[in-house]
Amino acid sequence: MVSSNIGQLAGDVWRYLEQNGETSTLKLRSSLKVSQSLLFLSLGWLSREEKIMITPEERGYLISLKKGETSE
């Protein structure tokens, strides 16, 4: 089912951000080896849960965890 893939990828994105900090969507897509569509769906999932911040930049977006969203 597609929604379970999106949820799993959302978890992968969250863990990547926790370990690596703020990053671009291009770097996330390359590092996680996923399609742009699935990446953006997973970012929407995390955004809806208010787990991430999305900051527009000239060539895409910067993604970071909201403060207090790390496992520390």
Query: In this predicted structure, what is the pLDDT of residue 38?
Result: 94
Query: In this predicted structure, what is the pLDDT of residue 37?
Result: 94
Q: Are 24 and 60 in contact (CB under 8 A)?
A: yes
Give 2-65's CATH code, choosing from 1.20.1250.20, 1.10.10.10, 3.10.20.30, 3.40.30.10. Answer: 1.10.10.10
Reported as a pLDDT band with limits 50, 70 and 90, residue 7 is very high
Percent of the chain with pLDDT strictly greater than 70: 93
pTM: 0.88
CA 13, CA 17: separation in Å to the nearest integer? Answer: 6
Q: What is the DSSP letter of 5?
A: H
Per-residue burial over 29-49, b if 16 or more Cβ lie within 10 Å, else e, is: beeeebeeebbbbbbebbbee
